[in-house]
Structure 1
Amino acid sequence: MRALRIAGISLGLVLGLGACMPDIAAIGGGGKGRSVSLGTPAAAGGLDQRTVMAAGLERSYHIYVPKSVAAAGGSAPAIVTFHGGGGNALEFAKRIDIRRVADARGMIVLAPQGVGRGDKGFWNAGSISPVGMAERNNVDDLAFIQAMLRDAASVAPIDPSRVYAAGLSKGGMLAYHAACNLPGTFTAIAAVASTLSAADCPNPQGVSLLHIHGTDDKNVPFSGGSGEMSAKGANWPPASLGIERFSAANQCAPQAQVMRPAQDTTCQVTSCAGGEKVELCLVEGGGHAWPGIEPAPWQQKYGVYVSPYFKATDFVVDFLLSSN
C-alpha cells in the first residue's frame, strides 16, 4: 500500500481498506429561468426550469444546453450538480461557474433542487444519522433523479453512457447514494467536502470516483464523527469509507499515483480493473468548501479556508469526462 501523510491525515487509496410530514414544497430554484412544459425541447444557450413528478411530489430542476451542443448535433455528455444541504440549485451552479465549463467542454448541465421551504433545499442521501427535512421525512430523491434524467433525455441530446454527478457536502452524499443504488445511471461521480453517509453501498461497480476534501473541514470532518460546525445530530462516517467501497468494488490497484495539481492540494489516483479510476484530493488546511471559488459570507465570517489555487470545477469536469 502506498500512502501519503498530509497535516496528520493519512492518504491511502486502498483495497479492502419526524413527526408528521410537513408541507414539503417543490422548489423552483429561487432564480430566473424559462418555465417550460413537458416535452418542450430545451432552449440552446438558455436556462430552462422544468418540473417532474417523483414519488408523489412535484420536483424541479434546471437544464442548460450550450449552443455548441445544439449546433453540433448528436449526443453530448451531461453533468448533474447537487447543491449542499440548505442550498439552492441556481446559486450553486452560478457559484461554481459550471456554465462556463459546460460551454468550453460541450456539456449539458442539470441542476436539481432539493425539497424545502423558500429557496433552500435538502436531500435524502440515506444517511445513518438523518440531517435535514428530506431525510427526516424519507423523501425519495433516487426516484427524483430517475424522473429528472428521463425528462431531460426527452428534451436534450444526452448521451446515456456519459452522465455524471458532482455534489457539495450533502449533495456529494446524494451523488454517492445514487451511484451505490442506481447502477448504470452515472459513469462517474465527484464528491466535495462530503462522505458516503448511507449504511451500505450495494453496487458502485463501474463508477469512477473523485473525492475532494479539506483537511480542516469542521462541518464534515475527513476522519468522520461530528465537527465543531456539524449539523445538529450529525455523526458522519469517515470519508475513507466511500473510497474503500468504490476501490474494492472496482478492483482498483493498491498502488496510487501522486499528483500536486495546486500548491495546497495533493491527489492520489488509482486505476481499476474495468478502466475506472478512484481519486482522492486533499486541500491542506481547507475547510468545508468547494475549492477555487469566492468564499461565501459565512466562510469569511468563520475564517474557513477556501483554496484560491485549486480550481475544483475544471478539475472535476476534466476527471468526469476522462472516466469513460
Structure 2
Amino acid sequence: MTLPSTTLPAVVALSAAAAVALSPAVAAAQPPGAFDSVQHSLLLEERYRDYTAVLPTDYDETRAYPIILAFGGYGDSAASYREYANIEQAVDGEAIVVYAQAVNNAWAGAPYAVTTMDEDVDYVRAVVDDVVENYSGDPERVFATGMSNGGGFAAALSCHAPTLVDAVVAVAGAYYNESVTNCRFAQRVPTLLVHGAHDEMMSFGGGYRHGAAYLGVERTLKNLATRNGCVPDSLHERSADEGTTTFSADNCEVDTEILRVDDYGHTWFEDPEAERVAVDFFRRQA
C-alpha cells in the first residue's frame, strides 16, 4: 500500500529572510536494519540546522516519495528519537522519513525553547524544500509526527503553517498555548492526537509545567477542529477497543480525532505502536 496523494497545494517557498546555503550531504551511520540515511546541514539566519533523512531501501530517484517529518521530545536529538521511534520500519519503503534536529533539543512553543515559532517553521520549510530538491520528496504529501515537545510542535505546524503539512499525528503532545492557539485558517489539516489517559507529565486534562500553562488534549483538538470545519466545541466518543478509546469532532471536513491510550502514561506507545498508528493515519488521508 502506498501513502495516498492529496489535493493540497505545494509547500510555500522559503522566505528571503531565511535564505538557505546547503552543505554536501553526509552519509549517516547505519543502524541495524540497513536503512540508507543521509545528513544535511542548512544555514538559516546565520545558524546551521541539521536533519537526517532516511531513504527507502529500494530508493528510486525517479519516483516522488511522501515525506514524514519526525520531531523528538524535549532533550531528544534527531538520532536519539530515531532510536525509539522506528518510523522507517512502519512506512516499509513507502516514504522518506526526516528526523529533524531542534536547537538545544527543544522545539518552539514550549517555555524552554530558545527558538521562535517563526524560526522553527522556517527551518521545517527549508528541510522540506531540500528533501524535494535532492531526494525526490513530494511537496504535496508532507506529514508530521512527534513525541511530547515534538508532538506539540507537529500540532503547531498544523496551526501556524497549515499549508506546509497535509496531516499531523501528535503523540503525548506538549500543547503549550503558543503552539496551538491563534491558528491560521488557510486550509484543513487532518489531525490525530494520541495521548495516555494516565500521563503525569503532560496531563490529558491540561495543567502547568516549566512555568507555563498547557492545554489539555480535548481543548487542543477543539482549537484545531474549528480550523477543520467541525462543529465548534463538539467532541464525542466514536469507538472503543481493548485499551484505547477514539474521540472525534462532529461534521469535520477532514479527520479530526483523539486516540486515548487508557493504561499508559507519558511515552512513545508500544501497544498500540505509536509509529504504526501515525503511518496508518497518514495512509487514510486521500
Q: Same fold (TM over 0.5)?
A: yes
Evaluate the alpha carbon distance shift between residue 271 and residue 159 of structure 1 in structure 2; reply closer, same or farther with a 3 A threshold.
farther
2:183 aligns to what?
202
Matches of 1:36 and 1:94, distance apart in 2: 25
More deviation in 311-320 or 200-209? Answer: 200-209
State the SS of the aligned residue for 1:86.
Answer: coil
Preserved CA contact (<8 Å) 1:38 1:151 = no
2:240 aligns to what?
260
1:22 aligns to what?
none
State the SS of the aligned residue for 2:215.
Answer: coil
Matches of 1:260 and 1:69, distance apart in 2: 38
Matches of 2:146 and 2:251, distance apart in 1: 23
Matches of 1:310 and 1:255, distance apart in 2: 22
1:100 aligns to what?
89
The correspondence of residues 30-41 of structure 1 with structure 2, limited to 5 A, is: 37=24
Match 2:119 to one of 140, 146, 152: 140
Matches of 1:101 and 1:209, distance apart in 2: 19
For the pair 1:250 / 2:228, whether they are aligned, the reply is yes
After superposition, the C-alpha distances for 1:286-322 in whole angstroms (9 at most, x for unaligned) are 1111111xxxxxxxxxxxxxxxx31221111110121
Which portions of structure 1, spanning 4 or more consecutive aligned residues, are displaced by more than 4 angstroms?
A: 253-257, 270-273
1:189 aligns to what?
168
Preserved CA contact (<8 Å) 1:247 1:272 = no
State the SS of the aligned residue for 1:62.
Answer: strand
Preserved CA contact (<8 Å) 2:206 2:216 = yes
The correspondence of residues 151-230 of structure 1 with structure 2, limited to 5 A, is: 151-199=130-178, 200-203=181-184, 205-226=187-208, 230=209
Preserved CA contact (<8 Å) 1:272 1:278 = no
Matches of 2:45 and 2:274, distance apart in 1: 33
Preserved CA contact (<8 Å) 1:124 1:134 = yes
The correspondence of residues 16-35 of structure 1 with structure 2, limited to 5 A, is: none
Match 1:149 to one of 105, 123, 128: 128
Matches of 1:39 and 1:61, distance apart in 2: 11
Match 2:260 to one of 277, 282, 296: 282
After superposition, the C-alpha distances for 1:38-94 in whole angstroms (9 at most, x for unaligned) are 699xxx9411110112232100000011033417x4212110000001111122122
Matches of 1:197 and 1:255, distance apart in 2: 21
Matches of 1:319 and 1:257, distance apart in 2: 18
State the SS of the aligned residue for 1:123.
Answer: coil
Matches of 1:318 and 1:100, distance apart in 2: 13
Preserved CA contact (<8 Å) 2:26 2:38 = no
2:101 aligns to what?
113
Preserved CA contact (<8 Å) 2:35 2:54 = yes
Match 2:51 to one of 51, 55, 61: 61
Q: How many residues align?
A: 254
1:181 shift after superposition? 1.5
Matches of 2:250 and 2:50, distance apart in 1: 36
Listed as ranges, the gaps of 5+ residues in structure 2 are: 1-21, 28-33
Listed as ranges, the gaps of 5+ residues in structure 1 are: 1-34, 293-308
2:285 aligns to what?
323
Evaluate the alpha carbon distance shift between residue 256 and residue 68 of structure 1 in structure 2; reply closer, same or farther with a 3 A threshold.
farther
Q: Percent of aligned pairs with the same residue?
A: 24
RMSD: 2.6
Matches of 1:289 and 1:108, distance apart in 2: 24
Preserved CA contact (<8 Å) 1:131 1:234 = no
In the alignment, residue 239 of structure 2 is paired with which amino acid? M
Match 2:73 to one of 79, 84, 87: 84
Matches of 1:94 and 1:70, distance apart in 2: 25
User: Larger C-alpha radius of gyration, 1 or 2?
Assistant: 1
1:310 aligns to what?
272
1:269 shift after superposition? 3.5
1:267 shift after superposition? 1.2
1:237 aligns to what?
215
In the alignment, residue 142 of structure 1 is paired with which amino acid? V
Preserved CA contact (<8 Å) 2:235 2:247 = no
1:268 shift after superposition? 2.2
Match 1:70 to one of 60, 72, 75: 60
In the alignment, residue 57 of structure 2 is paired with which amino acid? K
